Chains A and B, each alone.
Chain A
Amino acid sequence: MKVAAASPVIMIIATAAWLSLTAAVSAQNAGTALAYVYPAGGQRSTTFRVIIGGQRLAEITAAHFSGRGISAKIVDNIQPPKQEEVDEYMDELRELAKRKLATLHPGKSDRVAKKLNQVWTGDDEERLMVLAEMAATFSRFREAPAVAHRVILEVTVAADAALGRRELRLESPLGLSNPMIFMVGDIPEISKPPLSARAVVATVGERRFAQWRRFLLTPEPTLEVSLPTVINGQIGPGERDVVSFKARKGQRIVVAIIARELSPYLADAVPGWFDAFISLTNADGQELAAADSWRFHPDPVMCHEIPQDGQYFLEIRDSIYRGREDFVYRITLGEIPMVTAVFPLGGQTGTTTKVTLRGWNLARTSMEISHPMTPGLYPICKNGRFCQSTPFARMSVDTLPECLENSSPGRPRSEQDVNPPVIINGQILQAGESDVYSFTGRTGQTMVVEVMARRLGSPLDSFLKITDAAGTVLATNDDSEDKGAGLLTHHADSRVSVVLPADGLYRVHLTDIQGKAGDAYAYRLRIGEPRPDFELRITPSVINLRRGATMPFTAHVIRRDDFAGEIALSLLHAPDGFVLSGGRIPPGQNQISMTLSSSRTSSTGPIELQMQGCADISGRQVVHPAVPAEDMMQAFAWRFLVPTETLTAFVSEGKNRSAKLASPTNSIRIPQNGFVMVPVGTSFKKPPGNITFELKNPPKGITLTKQFARAQGAEIMIHADADVRVGLKGNLLVVVAVERVAEQPEEKGLDPSTPATNPPTAKGTPSVAATKPTPARPAKKNRRESLGTLPAIPFEIVPASSI
């Protein structure tokens, strides 16, 4: 049953009201932006249609899925209806709406209709809906362009396609889009009809209708499904989707939703994701279970043992009745395996760990996991099913020696001696339990105590306290932010760093600050001296650039255990002609812009890139891969780095430009309260106009003050104010633009005596305008066009006296 919020009459009124607005679509100068994929996945060995919603999709040429076994072809690209097309049909739409009202709800003023014995036919209804959808689509294109454009794909998932999560991007001549998540499963799927534009417009188009929308529900036939299944749907404003299924007594049914996981962060919504709510009712309408989350995950999971044979109903909606095209969900429903607890949550590199599993419908409750030699975070299993229903469940692999805590359920234990550096695998099994570990330390020794739990999928909300032998509290911590945990919004893992005041015994106390407990409340506790280290993220995860052009991107550093050193970023196995400029991340900096350049002979299309960062840490060369990510915003303000699978450069043919842009590769030295002249190369076969240079987002106090034309380009004057700190390092990005001088129209019609040349009106009389002189056409404005970005210029601020 789709409980729709749209009364056709209300919907039409709303649509008409929207059409009266005259806002124009804004200037578009950014790339293709995808907002949703519906359905957001499919079953192996099936072919089905997929809608991709987003913006600037008019020139899409192909779809790319990560991994193997998925192919797609574009079958439609839905363009916005033109104003005149909509205008042409609006009268018919209004007339139909009026007639429907008069026929179905005759009032005093509609006696004529009654007398004529008008009827409302199925054809009338169909026509009304077609016209209303067209008008509503037009409205959505203007009012919500970010979700309104649609491309339809026909997607085929091969029988041997790997299960689990993939990334989908669309290709246009200018490059690749942002990635969207697409799931591959192995159980049957069913998709509800896509959300119509008219359903959205009907409820969000006019504020005055909003209060009524829940009372204008029009039941649709309930969708009946067989278990197990995956149900795909989209939630419109105020909508509740309901499916029914038959189940037998004793069946252990799992309902696992992924919605927030598909679109982790919505920039323009609060909360910043589709906040799904589900409830299960029996045939009598009695609610048996409901969930709006699963532990700390916004996506709810429900496990319910069926009490008796019968028909059951599952409802899903947004927790505060929002809805939009990008509120997409997948429900996995049936006796599917669901892991609810894992212990331990990791192991030492190169070893094998026996892992205990708890959950529903599990074929086994333990498994042996062999850990790789490289430390990191790894999924618990890769068969797709577990991963689908246990988001974030990961194993941490580390080089340090490990131990298990000495406890078992129901048997309180005293404190446990440990010998740092060590990682202790433990659980908070009893409410209010405090796990205590003691170690011996030295005067002046710095010890780091860090919990790894929430980041591995554990619901533990840890709290750490460090005491000395006398019980004096040296340090406490509740939450410690980890910018590397891109999908977490509550950084519940604790971390403290403490300098020990004396030789002696110290204790680490670990509790759940919410007083909760259970076998899922597992943790890994590291006690040891600092291990300075770093992680890298690169945003965006796709760098679109023309042949021979340069494009900026951002490198983000997540510094661990107070590592503050310099990091050198480099390209690995890059195709010929690709150059990374400004690749040094100065000490202490966490974010810097760099550039990637392609050569004029680079092959076009997508090219997978690898980057790595290298740093000297205590005399050791430490190398880490740079992880591609998307810089995502939620709720208008908060930003997150969400990792993606691949870092891709997409080289396009682009316009045939003749500019060659070059900049110094060595660091320039800018005197404090002074300037430096920087030669830049800009050669053109044919100079297009006045060339200008502009610094893009320079550090405060650094400006480009002048430019001078030179034979092979120009010199730009870079100035640093007196308050710019000596020693500041970074990269300067210089944007090159050309101002094209517009040809001005001839000055015609300024003389009032000049006879008008306007054509007569249809009635043969001169138009009003024809009696007036033709006004002068407005002068055309000069056009400023970007020619590109120079390769990043590294700089350092030096004392004025040193130059």
Chain B
Amino acid sequence: MKTRRDVKNDGRIVELSRRQFLQHGLLGAAFLMASRLGIPPLSFAAAPPRARPANKARAVIQIWMWGGPSHLDTFDPKPDAGNDYTGPFNKPIASNVDGIRINELLPLLSKQADKYSIIRSMTHGINGHETASYIAQTGRPAGGRLVYPCSGAVVSLFHGYDAGYKGLVPPYIVLTELQGRFSESGFLGLKYKPFATGGDPAAARFAVEGVVLEDISDQRQRSRRELLDSLNTLHHAAKGDPLLTASDQARQQAYDLILGDGGKVFDLGQETEPVRERYGKNTFGQSCLAARRLIEKGVPYVTINYEGWDTHKQHFQIMRRKLPELDKGFSALLEDLSDRGLLDSTVVWWGGEFGRSPRVQWEAPWNGGRNHYGNVYSCVLAGGGFKGGRVVGASDARGEEVRERPVYPCDLIGSIYQQLGIDPDGLIPNSQGLNVRVTPDASENVKSGGRLKELS
């Protein structure tokens, strides 16, 4: 029997049989529909969240560079630092913005530099994957009394079903795998966890878990549903019961997602071949394309979990393979969003949990590797009202320390919230009576360099 992974609320990963998985998929979809229909969710009924009306952005695409990309080998090159720092990448290329140079293997992105800004002074000083991932996406250090929600869950709270989102597709989507060992929704609970598609957008059929099944046709699904309906004796016996009626409606909408127009958003075959080629016919490129389609459908938050950047060993060989893939997918996304008039309303956030050690580890067993590095790293922001063609902050000559304008994760996340009309200084509504701000203030003793006024 085929098995699939599911992540429990406490972070445990469990294997599901296909039958269980189908049930989960339907139940999950039904759950989301139920929340749209006003059926009390299992976690809590939140008070309507407060969002600023004057938002410049309405959606976020987060390109999560899972594992931590090298800042020196992407958007903060240091060609004069010497071979022990640059490795073979010592010829950065100019971009279409005077003074901005990026890695030589990112030529397509170099032509889009006017659309994005680079923050070269990101810092949190944490070198562990889990704790750095947490602070980079929640804005708060790990280890406190509460587990905080990440930005995707917060946006889902303020711009999701509670705020009038009517989409069939859940408001917080992860392409394609959850990060694991990371609670996206934190204390907000199950309702605000992302929907992870699973599958591979680059495959012939993007088998989205619970929505598009790899080996079951739509017709077969419909037949199954009819059979299930005919066997649903409770429904027949208690016809007219309000709860069952609401449940029935939720189920109907879940099937609409699976078999109707909702699920079509994942059908990348509806795009022309040149468009698919432009993004790159690989998992990342097609994830970028899927993200664009989701944003078009009104989904407020999409995370692309882009694996493979934890390059302890043979870093440069991996970079030669991955940077062109990144270049193609990321640049196509920016250009496509811009062409379709979506970039102004969509924040594109590129970055990982940290950078990588500027000094190359040439010795065995690394053989030209880079280690984790949280002292300084880079992020990229585009769209959503953020100015493009800028560089915020700077690292030192070897990319080892922040030289000017430190930017902490809470500064970046708070700036994104601002663009979305979410008050970073406001409170997160919750059923537990917690007095929790959207982003930390001085009382929480979390370091801050101030929000990105330079870009807004």
B364 and A26 contacting across the interface, CB-CB below 8 Å? no
Contact check: which of A24, A27, A54, A636 meets B364 at CB < 8 Å?
Answer: A54
Kindly list chain B residues whose C-beta atoms are within 8 Å of the C-beta of A144. Answer: 365
Chain B residues, CB < 8 A from A56: 364
Q: Which B363-381 residues have C-beta < 8 A from chain A?
A: 363-368, 371-372
Residues on B with beta carbons closer than 8 Å to the beta carbon of A27 = 88, 362, 368
- CB–CB A33/B316 < 8 A: no
In the complex with contacts A26-B314, A637-B127, A35-B321 CB distance below 8 A: no
Query: What 0/1 readout, one digit per residue, does chain A (13-48) give for beta carbons within 8 Å of chain B?
Result: 000000000011111111001010000000000000
Do A268 and B362 touch across chains, with their CB atoms under 8 A apart? no
Contact size range, B: 20 to 34
Contact A35 to B365, CB < 8 A, known contacts A23-B321, A636-B372, A694-B82: yes
Contact B364 A145 (CB under 8 A): yes
The verdict on A30 contacting B313 (CB below 8 Å), with A637-B127, A694-B82 known, is no
Q: Which one of B316, B318, B366, B368 contacts A268 once the chains associate, using CB atoms below 8 Å?
A: B366
Residues of B contacting A694 in the complex (Cβ-Cβ under 8 angstroms) = 82
Contacts of A637 in B (CB 8 A): 127, 371-372
B83–A784 CB distance below 8 A: yes
Known contacts A268-B312, A636-B372; is-contact A146 B367 (Cβ 8 Å): yes
Judged by a CB distance under 8 angstroms, whether A267 is at the interface is: yes
Chain A residues in 8 Å Cβ range of B366: 267-268
A162 / chain B contacts, CB cutoff of 8 Å = none
Q: Mark A368-384, 1 if CB is under 8 A from B, else 0.
A: 00000000000000000
CA distance A30 to B365 in the complex (A): 11
Q: Give the distance in Å from the alpha carbon of A23 to the alpha carbon of B311 in the complex.
A: 14
Chain A residue contacts of B321, Cβ below 8 A: 23
Query: With a CB–CB cut-off of 8 A, which chain B residues contact A28?
Result: 362, 367
A24 to B367, CA, bound (A): 11
Complex CA distance for A542 and B363, rounded to whole angstroms: 16
Q: Of all chain A residues, which has the CB nearest B82?
A: A694
In the bound complex, do residue B365 and residue A268 qualify as a contact, i.e. CB atoms below 8 Å apart?
yes
Cβ contacts under 8 Å, A267 to chain B: 365-366
Residues of chain B with a CB closer than 8 A to A35's CB: 364-365
Is B317 in contact with A33, judged by CB distance below 8 angstroms? Answer: no
Pair A23/B367 contact, Cβ less than 8 Å:
no
* Chain B nearest Cβ from A150, distance in angstroms: 14
The answer to the question of A55 belonging to the interface, with a C-beta cut-off of 8 Å to chain B, is yes
B362–A636 CB distance below 8 A: no
Q: Tell me the bound Cα distance from A26 to B318 in angstroms.
A: 11
* Cβ-closest chain B residue relative to A56: B364
Q: Which residues from A are CB-within-8-Å of B367?
A: 25-26, 28, 55, 145-146
Q: Does A147 contact B (CB under 8 A)?
A: yes
A147 & B362 in contact (Cβ 8 Å cutoff) = no
Contacts known (A636-B312, A784-B83); A146 close to B364, Cβ less than 8 A: yes
Q: Which residues of B contact A26 (CB under 8 A)?
A: 314, 316-317, 362, 367-368
In the complex, chain B residues whose CB is within 8 Å of the CB of A23: 314, 317-318, 321
Residues of B within 8 A of A54 (CB): 364
Residues of A within 8 A of B314 (CB): 23, 26
Report the nearest B residue to A143, measured CB to CB. B314
Task: Please give, as numbers and ranges, the residues of chain A lying within 8 Å of B82 by CB-CB distance.
Answer: 694
- Bits for B387-398, please: 1 = Cβ < 8 Å to A, else 0: 000000000000
Contact A30 B364 (CB under 8 A): yes
> Which chain A residues lie closer than 8 Å to B316 at the CB level?
26
Give the CA-CA distance A35 to B226 in the complex, in Å: 62
Given known contacts A26-B316, A268-B312, A146 and B365 CB-to-CB distance under 8 angstroms: yes
Q: Output the residue of B88, B312, B367, B368 with the most chain A CB within 10 A.
A: B367
- Check A30/B127 contact, CB under 8 A, given A268-B312, A694-B82: no
Most chain B beta-carbon contacts within 10 A, residue among A26, A55, A784:
A26
Chain A residue nearest to B400 in the complex (CB) = A700
Number of A residues, CB within 8 Å of B: 23
Is the Cβ of A33 less than 8 Å from the Cβ of B368?
no
Residues on A with beta carbons closer than 8 Å to the beta carbon of B363: 30, 33
Chain A residues with Cβ below 8 Å from B317 are 23-24, 26
Contact with B313, one of A24, A29, A268 (Cβ below 8 angstroms): A268
Task: Determine if B372 and A55 form an interchain contact, defined as CB atoms under 8 angstroms apart.
Answer: no
Instruction: Write out the residue numbers on chain A whose beta carbons fall within 8 Å of the beta carbon of B318.
Output: 23
Contact A147 B372 (CB under 8 A): no
Alpha-carbon distance A33/B313, docked complex (angstroms):
15
Please, how many angstroms separate the alpha-carbon atoms of A552 and B362 in the complex? 17
Q: Please, what's the 1-or-0 string for A248-267, where 1 marks a CB less than 8 Å from any CB in chain B? A: 00000000000000000001
Q: Bound complex: CA of A636 vs CA of B83, how far in Å?
A: 22
B-contact bits for A334-371, CB 8 A (1 contact / 0 none): 00000000000000000000000000000000000000
CA distance A612 to B367 in the complex (A): 34
Q: Once the chains bind, are B371 and A636 in contact (CB under 8 Å)?
A: yes
Chain A residues within 8 Å of B365, by CB: 33, 35, 55, 144, 146-147, 267-268
Bitwise, B103-142 to A at CB < 8 A (1) or not (0) is 0000000000000000000000001000000000000000
* Cβ–Cβ < 8 Å partners of B371 in chain A: 636-637
Note all chain A residues with C-beta closer than 8 A to B312: 268, 636
Tell me how far the C-beta of A270 lies from the nearest C-beta in chain B, rounded to whole angstroms.
11
Residue-by-residue, is B145-159 near A (CB-CB < 8 Å gives 1, otherwise 0)?
A: 000000000000000
CA distance A35 to B363 in the complex (A): 12
A27 to B321, CA, bound (A): 17
Q: Who on chain B is nearest to A637 by CB?
A: B127
Closest chain-B Cβ to A359's Cβ sits at a distance in Å of: 38
A144 to B318, CA, bound (A): 14
Most chain-B CB neighbours within 10 Å: which of A24, A27, A33?
Answer: A27
Nearest residue, chain A, Cβ from B371: A636
Nearest CB in chain B to that of A145: its residue: B367
Which of A54, A267, A784 has the most CB atoms of chain B within a 10 A radius of its CB?
Answer: A267
- B367's nearest neighbour on chain A, judged by CB, is A26
A33 CA to B82 CA, complexed, in Å: 24
B316 shortest CB reach to chain A, Å: 7
Closest A residue by C-beta to B128: A637
- Closest residue of B by beta carbon distance from A144: B365
Residues of chain A with a CB closer than 8 A to B83's CB:
784
Tell me which residues across on chain B come within 8 A of A784, comparing CB atoms.
83
Given A23-B321, A636-B371, A637-B127, A33-B364 contact (CB < 8 Å)? yes
State in angstroms the CA–CA spacing of A775 and B25 once bound together: 58
The CA of A146 and the CA of B365, in the complex, are separated in Å by: 5
- Docked CA distance A33–B367 (Å): 11
Query: Quick one: CB contact mask for B307-342 with A, threshold 8 Å, 1 for yes?
Result: 000001110111001000000000000000000000
Contact with B along A668-701 (1 / 0, CB 8 A): 0000000000000000000000000010000000
Most chain-A CB neighbours within 10 Å: which of B316, B318, B364, B368?
A: B364
Interface centre among B316, B365, B372 (most CB of A within 10 A): B365
Distance in Å: Cβ of A2 to nearest Cβ of chain B: 26
Q: Which of A140-177 contact B (CB under 8 A)?
A: 144-147
* Chain B residue at smallest Cβ distance from A146: B365
* B249 smallest CB distance to A (angstroms): 39
Q: Closest Cβ of chain A: how far from B105's Cβ, in Å? A: 15
Residues in A neighbouring B364, C-beta threshold 8 A = 30, 33, 35, 54-56, 145-146
Which 3 residue pairs of A and B lie closest in terms of their CB atoms, listed nearest first? A146-B365, A33-B364, A23-B317
Q: List 6 other contacts, CB 8 Å, given A26-B316, A637-B127, A637-B372.
A: A23-B321, A25-B367, A29-B362, A146-B364, A146-B365, A267-B365
Can you pick out 16 interface pairs between chain A and chain B where the beta carbons lie within 8 Å of each other? A23-B314, A23-B317, A25-B367, A26-B317, A27-B368, A29-B362, A33-B363, A33-B364, A33-B365, A35-B365, A54-B364, A147-B365, A267-B365, A268-B365, A637-B372, A784-B83
A residues lining the B interface (CB < 8 Å): 23-30, 33, 35, 54-56, 144-147, 267-268, 636-637, 694, 784
